Amino acid sequence: MSTAQTPAKSSLYNFFAPGGLLSKTHPAYEFRRGQLQMAQAVEAALDEKRHLIVEAGTGTGKTLAYLVPAIRSGKRVIISTGTKNLQEQLFHKDVPFLQRVFFPNGDEKLRVCYMKGRNNYLCRQKLYDLEHSPILSGLEEIEQFRIIQDWEKHTETGDRAELGQLPEGAPLWPKLDARTEACTGQKCQQYERCFITEMRRRAAESDIIIVNHHLFFADLAVKRAAEDAPDAGILPEYAAVVFDEAHELEDVAGSYFGVQVSNLRFDELARDVEITLRNKKVLTAAIENTLGSLRQRAQFFFAVLPPGEGRFAFTARPEFLEENGDEWIGIQRGLTRLVTELQSIPQKPDEVHNLIRRAEELRVQLGFILENTDANTVVWIERRRFERGRGGRENVFLQATPIDVSQILRQALFDQIETVVLTSATLAVAGPRTTLHEEPENSSSFTYIRSRLGLDHARDLVVPSHFDFPSQALLYVPPDLPDPRTPQFASQAATRIRQLLEITRGRAFCLFTSYAQMHDIFERLENELEFPMLMQGSAPRSVLLDEFRHTPNAVLFATAAFWQGVDVQGEQLSCVIIDRLPFAVPSDPVVAARVRAVDNAGGNAFFDYQVPAAVITLKQGFGRLIRSLHDRGLLTLLDNRILKKQYGKIFLHSLPDYQRSTRLEDVERFFGLSPQL
């Protein structure tokens, strides 16, 4: 950032304090001491080239607390978020506001850009190829193709978000998007006009780059695999990164530093080879036969994988290879034969080199998953059923995931980047403080996040929420309900939920830790409640949220998708009910592997891993309720283990200081009702 474009460096106090620049420009200004504390900590971390962990309670105003120091630093800073909503808030609301604050005359401009994953952007070359060789399915897809053709002529970004009339899961889009697999880079005829090229140019000219965690770690994984080759990845060089919603980092990083192979990847490779070679007029009968054979061998291979529901560990791989050697050798030979056929094409078009690379990559990755013996890798299978079309189909995903990502992140991120800031409303577990600390041994609140991510040396800070939780929220835990793991729980829980919703007059989220429990309770209450009932899965998430906001007294039944990244302010959401302490499913292959790893290293997986992870999830779920100073409402946890078990104290000490009760009469009083005698 040039000196002319760096806002004048008056103190942060003069920006955030009463009478400061923010108070004169923000219509809803309130002085938030925690916001100033956080901004000062972020600025110090950027100046001193140090790492920082900040838990910023809801209402702190944390986006301005890191954006302002980032802009003032004069460095290129990546801002990475966990949700699309936060990305859009930063780019479309916070950045334009700061533009007006810092440069009211419009004489300078903040250099900020917003980057998404490649599959969000249109590939012009694919669109033009499809015009000449249409493989469209049905009238609806033909109409969608025409809409995209018209849009391509005037869009500046190529971002599919501009296409409001294109359904979210439209099967046409993957045939046209700009994902890496079919990209020929600078050899492409459309390279100079490419939307990805343009996005990279904008990023290279920007000082603040807003991305999401998936894009960030996809980029980091590519650069790590390419050993930081100059052209690897999509993000330009940067001095610092701020992770907002940083509680998600372990799972996102694990997915990108792992390997995934599926029957879908084989289908897509065969389809792309066929389409590309036909378009280039080099498709031969021999290659068509090879593709037919590869499809058949892939079908045989995925059919003999161990059966199971959902996600499950694939531990008996040596035995599997011994019993199914023909299918294993067949699929490997099918890929090798395809590579040989593609290499034999004379005067190969540029696209063919990409197809060869994809086939080789698929062969190597499949070999890694089936034959690797790395103790830090868990291999698992996931089966997903897709109902689109007649009878639907089952897709099978083979995954190899690192059990512990801390060493990878330490080497690839924390040791390479001068400043990394982790922030979220939910990072600390039991014993928050409001002072800066230097050494990890003093930072008990952040022991969990430090150990899981490999962040050994960082300052940390907990800034209190701006909200008055004792007066704004009541936490009710019924002491008389049975253990949620027993068969008696669902019936009694449904009765208590009905009682609570009658007091709150609906206006509630009922959040569950499993789909089965959600469906069970929903069905028990369906004919019992007088309020409109909505359930996750009956419509897209955004549609359900919109319906909830505009339906008086509505009750939404939902699972993990609604535990975070959801913001409903005002009386419309006056109650959040959670069925049980949100411990991760112990049989999940990744969770089970991490539990074993902690225990084998001499730790106590329950207290070192399972309880802290559940604490953070519970804080996220309860965080849906109080979103502004004017919100008021009831939090209910139907799982009284939080009161009866020793580990319950860790949860209670980690939560904000809500008013607490175990009496239904107190709930009635909180809503201004006379207790029933």
Q: What is the pLDDT of residues 485-527, one digit of tens each?
A: 999 999 999 999 999 999 999 999 999 999 999 999 999 999 8
Which of 341, 335, 190, 189 is CA-nearest to residue 269? Answer: 335
Quote the pLDDT of residue 443: 45
pLDDT(442) > 70:
no
Q: What residues contact 30, with CB distance under 8 A and at least 6 apart? A: 466, 629
Q: Is the pLDDT of residue 335 over 90?
A: yes
What is the distance in angstroms between the CA of the first residue and the CA of the last residue of the chain? 68
Contact 266, 102 (CB under 8 A): no
What structural domains does the chain harbor? 3-111+206-253+405-463 (3.40.50.300), 118-199 (no CATH), 259-402 (1.10.275), 469-670 (3.40.50.300)
Average pLDDT, integer, range 446-456:
94
Which of 424-433, 556-565, 607-616, 664-673 has the least mean pLDDT? 424-433
Amino acid found at 36 = L
**CA distance linking residue 545 with residue 568, whole number of Å:** 8
Beta bridge partners of 53: 422, 460
What is the bridge-based pairing of β-strands 259-262 and 393-402? antiparallel
> What H or E segment, with its residue span, contains residue 97?
helix 95-102
Q: Mean per-residue pLDDT for 385-406?
A: 79
Answer whether residue 134 shows pLDDT above 80: no
Helix runs in 230-280, H state only: 249-256, 263-279
Instruction: Return the minimum-mean-pLDDT range out of 32-41, 127-136, 334-343, 603-612.
Output: 127-136
Helix/strand/coil (H/E/C) assignment for every residue in 485-538: CCCCHHHHHHHHHHHHHHHHCCCEEEECCCHHHHHHHHHHHCCCCCCCEEECCC
Name the region of 238 (left: φ>0; alpha: ψ -120 to 50; beta: rest).
beta
Considering only CA atoms, which of 75, 69, 194, 181 is closest in space to residue 125?
Answer: 194
Return the pLDDT at 392: 56
How buried is 444 (Cβ within 10 angstroms: 0-12 exposed, 13-18 middle, 19+ buried)? middle
What would the mean pLDDT of 185-189 be, rounded to a whole number?
Answer: 85
Q: Which of 295-299, 433-437, 672-676 has the highest mean pLDDT?
A: 295-299
Q: Cβ distance 643 to 649 under 8 Å?
A: no
pLDDT of residue 13: 93
pLDDT of 628 higher than 90: no
- Quote the CA–CA distance of 624 and 656 in Å, as a whole number: 13
Mean predicted lDDT score pLDDT of the chain: 90
More confident residue, 5 or 508: 508
Helix pair angle (489-504, 515-525), 10° resolution: 60
pTM: 0.90
pLDDT in tens, 341-367: 999 999 888 889 989 999 999 999 999
